[in-house]
Amino acid sequence: MREGRSPVSVTRRTVLVGLGATALTGAGTGAYAVGIEPMRLAVTRYRLKPIGPWPEGLTLRIVALADIHACEPWMSTARIAGIVAAANALQGDVIVLLGDYVAGMRVVTRYVDAAEWAPVLGQLAAPLGTYAILGNHDWWEDKTAQARGAGPTIAGEALRRVGIPVLENDALPLSVKGHTVWLAGLGDQLALLPGRKRHGHPRIGLDDLTGTLAKIPDDAPAILLAHEPDIFPQVPPRIALTLSGHTHGGQVRLFGRSPVVPSRYGNRFAYGHVREQADLITSGGLGTSIAPVRFGVPPEIVVVELGAEGTKR
């Protein structure tokens, strides 16, 4: 069953489609932004000793994949398989999927259905397992879930069928080298689009941060997966690390900033490591949405050595 299409931000669309149009004129920079950078694959590594509770001497290697946006020709099942192989080769203790498996643009030759991309992601392998959350496009493009205003979603059920647990306002304990580390996943913050029953509300989230964190014992080391980074100011210091995607690093990044970011905080949480009351890492993601354009922020797999001294390298 193919997920339906849905509208997206006009402001961001203007910027990204404008760059795509530049590429079609034959301009070298635009051609690179459409034809080369979106097809690259980088590995971005962070070494991070958390502010929040964390056992002394414990390190945990997390491999994170965000914003796959399966569609042809940009993110075919063959390309996803290559990303899976690269992720497995990084030998993470745990692999996390940060949402948006479904295509978020119309500039495609074919949409890749969940029945195709999910079994490929099912080949991800790590000693502590692979865990997922859902993103806004996994909800927006699912007409049935939108109509009922609730799950299950096509994307979520597809992941579960291949053995990948989907955490939606839930938390579970992982046994890590003699310690217990909690992994929590938040429901999507933009899940429901406007409808007759939701008139006047641009988007409604299904996230429950308070309820999710209530499932974690006080002072226990914990990691939070949240598709959109906008929740981060509400995340308490006791969370060792929040991992997010959604922004694609703005998809266009110049001199360390992005002209337009799909976040009410602009560039504050657009990309990379942010340390405020706790630690956040926002992945630049793997696919594209609105337009197949990337410039200054190539597709990336994120690797976090949590508990290790140091910074990004």
**pLDDT digit string (tens) for 212-257?**
999 999 999 999 999 999 999 999 999 999 999 999 999 999 999 9
- The structure's pTM equals 0.90
Element (H, E) at 179: strand 179-185
Q: What would the pLDDT profile of 186-201 be if each residue is shown by its tens digit?
A: 999 999 998 655 445 5
- In this prediction, residues 22-40 reach a mean pLDDT of 68
Q: In what order do the strands lie in the sheet with 42-48?
A: 42-48, 300-306, 60-65, 94-97, 130-132
The Cα angle at residue 157 between residues 281 and 91, in degrees rounded to 5: 45
More confident residue, 313 or 139: 139
Q: Are 272 and 286 in contact (CB under 8 A)?
A: no
Residue 313 has pLDDT above 90, yes or no: no
Backbone angles phi, psi at 20, to 5 degrees: -60, -40
Q: How many CA atoms lie within 13 A of 194 on its CB side?
A: 6
Element (H, E) at 30: helix 28-35
Q: How far apart are CA 262 and CA 250, in angstroms?
A: 7
Q: What is the mean pLDDT of the chain?
A: 90
Which residue, 167, 178, 247, 176, is CA-closest to 213?
167
Task: At 251, list the tokens.
Answer: 């998809």
The Cα-based distances of 27 to 12, 30, 42 in angstroms read: 21, 5, 24
Q: Are 251 and 270 in contact (CB under 8 A)?
A: no
Q: Which residues contact 199 (CB under 8 A, 6 or more apart)?
A: none
Q: What would the pLDDT profile of 89-136 be if each residue is shown by its tens digit?
A: 999 999 999 999 999 899 999 999 999 999 999 999 999 999 999 999
Task: At 146, list the tokens.
Answer: 């939108």
Task: At 93, list the tokens.
Answer: 């203790």
- In this prediction, residues 283-295 reach a mean pLDDT of 95
- Say what percent of the chain tops pLDDT 90: 81
Element (H, E) at 84: helix 77-89
Q: What would the pLDDT profile of 83-99 be if each residue is shown by its tens digit?
A: 999 999 999 999 999 99
Q: How far apart are CA 301 and CA 282, in angstroms?
A: 11
Residue carrying structure tokens 């308490």: 236
Burial class (CB in 10 A: 0-12, 13-18, 19+), 45: middle
